[in-house]
Amino acid sequence: MIDITMGSNVSLYQQIYEQLKNKIISGELEEGTRLTSTRALAKNLCVARNTVESSYAQLCVEGYVSSKPGSGYYVMNVADDSLFTDLAPPMEKSSEKVRAVARVESAEYTHDFQFYNLEHASFPFALWRRLSAEALASFDARKICFYNDKQGEPDLRAEITKYVRDSRGVRCTPDQVVLCCGTQHALDVICTLFHDGNRKVAVEEPGYDGAKIIFKKNDFEILSIPVGPEGIDLDELERTSTQLTYITPSHQFPTGVVMPIHKRVQLLQWATKRDGIIIEDDYDSEFRYHTRPIPSLHSTDTNGRVIYKGTFSKSLSPGLRMSYIILPEWLLPKYHTIFAGYNATISWFQQKIISLYMERGHWERHIRKVCLHNKKKHDTLIKAIHEQLGDRVRIHGNNAGLHFLLEFVQGEKQEWLIEKAREHKVRVYPTLPYWHRKERCRENFILMGFSMLSEKEIVEGIALLKKAWFEQQ
Amino acid sequence: MIDITMGSNVSLYQQIYEQLKNKIISGELEEGTRLTSTRALAKNLCVARNTVESSYAQLCVEGYVSSKPGSGYYVMNVADDSLFTDLAPPMEKSSEKVRAVARVESAEYTHDFQFYNLEHASFPFALWRRLSAEALASFDARKICFYNDKQGEPDLRAEITKYVRDSRGVRCTPDQVVLCCGTQHALDVICTLFHDGNRKVAVEEPGYDGAKIIFKKNDFEILSIPVGPEGIDLDELERTSTQLTYITPSHQFPTGVVMPIHKRVQLLQWATKRDGIIIEDDYDSEFRYHTRPIPSLHSTDTNGRVIYKGTFSKSLSPGLRMSYIILPEWLLPKYHTIFAGYNATISWFQQKIISLYMERGHWERHIRKVCLHNKKKHDTLIKAIHEQLGDRVRIHGNNAGLHFLLEFVQGEKQEWLIEKAREHKVRVYPTLPYWHRKERCRENFILMGFSMLSEKEIVEGIALLKKAWFEQQ
């Protein structure tokens, strides 16, 4: 039984999603139960059918239900419900337009399917200028001459606290936030905190190479755990003696896999039992295009086992060099002891600008705009691939983020694919760097992103790739 | 025989200093030779006596000659002359005025003799706003959306190269410069570079505590080497098995001692023989008030044994979080291998602003202004101490930087001194934190700085301290 309130602040989609999720968590809807069909529920509630479909799709991508084609949606096993906390409502999208896109020239490539740098047309230059002037004229400006709080400015930490609560369901206080100059610095801080442990860390295989470098730098032994269709293999994790694991549960890098809710619950149980810590790298969670964002692992954690890591690099600008971690409360005394003699790492000026930017609501609007813009590019790219490359390729990990994997069904190898593309001045990327044990890498995959190309360039680029890969002998 | 050219671009002071220094280095003036008296030389050259006195004082502070009261100046042993390179001329000071000074309120203290935060009145706010706008409007501005060069922006590195050459005699190319977000990050980079070594580092005792934390974090064993009147004890250094040493040769922190030239030569010889590396932390070399700045150790190094570290924290703003290291050329391939997967740590925006600031000559003018301003405050403070505290105290390490040590001849202890001052709402600082082996700390010393107080406040503060320490029973 679902009750909906018309004209409420909470969207119909949201009401249906929340009530069904709560029924599943509470056990009212048991494992294996078939949900009312979308058509029937829409009729009962007098709402549009695609509203119900959106709610079901979201439950599906988060692992609460599974869809059997031609049969319907069934409730999944979500295990220990005591771990659940209320989730904040995900952010809504707007239909604001994004400015036209410019492109950076590169001698070697005309079309670069990269996934890390952003289009500069998306950056709010004029606003940044205004806020810079305002920051320098503020009373606070005297702090530009001080060694400031090593955790970051309190105002900015308060803004981040609000943002992660509203968008990612992360509940914390500003005291738990530590600002860092990039993901690598964030991981370095975490390594320093666990310097006294057994210095082993489980990482995803394949996984983000930039993270492994930092663990190695800190003399951590790296245990690579295979990633399957539901994220890292928890049985293999169980067999290791590590207490620390580093994962990207909401959009695994680079495979794009989402860890479903029953696996998340198991992972949290592992951490509780093992007195372990899970580093959740939520690097591009803002960008999910055909369902709502997936709540963070942190939002499901009631035992303080998760260190959440967010970044401004994917949604605003990597050139700002700014990320943040959210430490569990019990870890704060240790943090303050170990970091007592440390200085801040981020310029006061930049912190102040971003703080004003968030405080005034620009950040939220920016995310909506950029998400919509990225969705268009994403959909254009997927469509172009289907039309041009057809069933010679399979797409893995799409509908989210700024990249996905392309599998070549006839077994073409990444080295050849990259070289052929290069001959046509198109750049695509290998997956090999993300494998710790290189021999495990499946070579008929490449990595493609769309963070720097316009829709027009995307279509052109795929046409060139078709030529490069399938039309020359 | 000294030849001087009247009306030359090079000041008379400079001409006398350079020629005498070269004669000492070349051996023309042998160890033990008594220099012509200042009076006689002034008469011979037809210049003012205080011009000659300044030249002699500079040679003295750099360790080329020593002064015997009532007897004159004698040439010191400067050992292996093959190590010398030409030194760039030190910067000249101007008489520009510095704006009036404002003070930050603090509930507990009315007068804070600290040495780390700067007066915000010295920061060029209006200019910063203009340059921020210019940076955002520049063609380069697209780089705000990129992951940029991990070493820092090439333009800024080129500006730093020019600055360290002209002001500190450091010869390098922009390829050797690595920008870091503070001294601690700089030392972390260096530790990462020598991660494969024996992980021992010699540090000064007493010395900068913020550095030791980073060595410890990187599992380096810390060997503390006592600092005498000529810097660290080279015999003790010789007895260790370390290849790495971290020192502040031009203004030792916190004692203010200057390492004289013969010791510098010995230290460089130690490094060459041992295949060692000297980290030269040149943190406040801009500020030397009654002699010219002391050339860097790097400028005397011909074998690539010195990693030079500079910072923007002391002369411009600690809130910018920006420092830099200059790596020897032979170390660059190793740097590029180890740091291949690392990202930059400083915001592009900030790098661009500072790059414009230096390029336009503002930085050089700023240094002159601030140096003059600091000299006035320094002299006021020294005078006030002499007048108010008389011979109950001795000042160590003055005429440079932003701090010095105060010794209490009757053996008052720092804990008591700090507490008494606090009762009068004046803050002075302990020396204990800078001792690795706390039992070695001489307790009748305190640390005092003048980075945040105006001249008026300095005079008031010292009067309060007199009351606190010597007028109450």
Asked if residue A14 has pLDDT above 90, the reply is: no
**Does the residue A4 lie in any domain?**
no
If asked whether residues A185 and A289 sit together in one domain, one would say yes
For residue A473, what pLDDT is reported?
A: 55
Query: What's the CATH number where A17 sits?
Result: 1.10.10.10
Asked if residue A87 has pLDDT above 50, the reply is: no
A219 close to B (CB below 8 A)? yes
Query: How high is the mean pLDDT of chain A?
Result: 89
Mean pLDDT of A86-105: 30
- Span A186-217, pLDDT tens digits: 999 999 999 999 999 999 999 999 999 999 99
Query: What's the CATH number where B276 sits?
Result: 3.40.640.10
Q: How confident is the model at residue A85 (pLDDT cuts 50, 70, 90)?
A: very low
If asked whether residues A110 and A146 sit together in one domain, one would say no
Among residues B344, B360, B376, which one ends one of the domains? B360
If asked whether residues A116 and A192 sit together in one domain, one would say no
If asked whether residues B302 and B440 sit together in one domain, one would say no
Mark yes or no for CB contact A144/B210 under 8 Å.
Answer: no
Mark yes or no for CB contact A210/B144 under 8 Å.
Answer: no
- Span B136-152, pLDDT tens digits: 999 889 999 999 999 99
Q: What are phi and psi of A205, to 5 degrees?
A: -125, 110
For residue B107, what pLDDT is reported?
A: 63
Q: How confident is the model at residue A341 (pLDDT cuts 50, 70, 90)?
A: very high
**Does the residue A81 lie in any domain?**
no
What domain range includes position A296?
Answer: 130-360
**Does the residue A422 lie in any domain?**
yes
A105 close to B (CB below 8 A)? no
CA–CA distances in Å: residue A168 to residues A241, A300, A309, B185, B379: 30, 11, 11, 31, 57
- Span B185-238, pLDDT tens digits: 999 999 999 999 999 999 999 999 999 999 999 999 999 999 999 999 999 999
Tell me the two tokens of residue B311. Answer: 């910072």
For residue B84, what pLDDT is reported?
A: 40
**CA B166 to chain CA centroid, nearest Å:** 15
**Does the residue B6 lie in any domain?**
no
Report whether B199 contacts B214 (CB < 8 A): no
A197 close to B (CB below 8 A)? no
Asked if residue B102 has pLDDT above 70, the reply is: no
Contacts of B217 in chain A (CB under 8 A): 192, 195
If asked whether residues A311 and A175 sit together in one domain, one would say yes
Mark yes or no for CB contact A129/B132 under 8 Å.
Answer: yes
Total count of domains within chain B: 3
If asked whether residues B344 and B276 sit together in one domain, one would say yes
Report whether B450 contacts B378 (CB < 8 A): yes
- Span B72-87, pLDDT tens digits: 898 887 764 433 433 3
**Does the residue A1 lie in any domain?**
no
If asked whether residues A103 and A184 sit together in one domain, one would say no
Mean pLDDT of B318-339: 96
Among residues B360, B383, B402, which one ends one of the domains? B360
**Does the residue B84 lie in any domain?**
no
If asked whether residues B150 and B45 sit together in one domain, one would say no
Among residues B360, B386, B419, which one ends one of the domains? B360
Asked if residue A139 has pLDDT above 90, the reply is: no
Window 172-191 of B, Cβ < 8 Å to A: 181-185, 188
Measure the CA–CA gap between B315 and B367, rounded to whole angstroms: 6
Report whether B449 contacts B403 (CB < 8 A): yes
For residue A2, what pLDDT is reported?
A: 82
Query: What's the CATH number where A373 sits?
Result: 3.90.1150.10
**Does the residue A141 lie in any domain?**
yes
For residue B79, what pLDDT is reported?
A: 60
- Write the residue in A125, A132, A144 that is nearest to B120 by C-beta: A144
Residues near A44 by Cβ (< 8 Å), separated by ≥ 6?
A36
Of residues A231 and A80, more confidence is placed in: A231
Tell me the two tokens of residue B417. Answer: 């001194």
If asked whether residues A118 and A168 sit together in one domain, one would say no
Q: What are phi and psi of A107, to 5 degrees?
A: -65, -45
Mean pLDDT of B315-327: 94
Mark yes or no for CB contact A217/B195 under 8 Å.
Answer: yes
- Span A397-423, pLDDT tens digits: 888 999 999 999 999 999 999 999 999
Interface test with B, best of A142, A183, A451 (most B CBs within 10 A): A142
Of residues A393 and A315, more confidence is placed in: A393
Mean pLDDT of A384-407: 94
What ipTM does the predicted assembly reach? 0.82
- Residues of B205-219 as b/e, b for ≥16 C-beta within 10 angstroms? bbbbbbbbbbbebbe
Report whether A456 contacts A101 (CB < 8 A): no
Helix residue spans in B249-343 (DSSP H): 261-274, 332-338
- Write the residue in A104, A142, A347 that is nearest to B104 by C-beta: A142
If asked whether residues A388 and A431 sit together in one domain, one would say yes
**Does the residue B89 lie in any domain?**
no
- Residues of A359-384 as b/e, b for ≥16 C-beta within 10 angstroms? eeebbbebbbbbbbbbbebbbbbbeb
Mark yes or no for CB contact B195/A184 under 8 Å.
Answer: no
If asked whether residues A202 and A339 sit together in one domain, one would say yes
Of residues A320 and B25, more confidence is placed in: A320
Interface test with A, best of B105, B116, B147, B316 (most A CBs within 10 A): B147
Asked if residue A86 has pLDDT above 70, the reply is: no
Asked if residue A44 has pLDDT above 80, the reply is: yes
Asked if residue A80 has pLDDT above 90, the reply is: no
If asked whether residues B155 and B278 sit together in one domain, one would say yes
- Span A263-305, pLDDT tens digits: 999 999 999 999 999 999 999 988 888 888 788 999 999 999 9
Q: Hunting for tokens 């490539």 — which residue is that?
A: A109
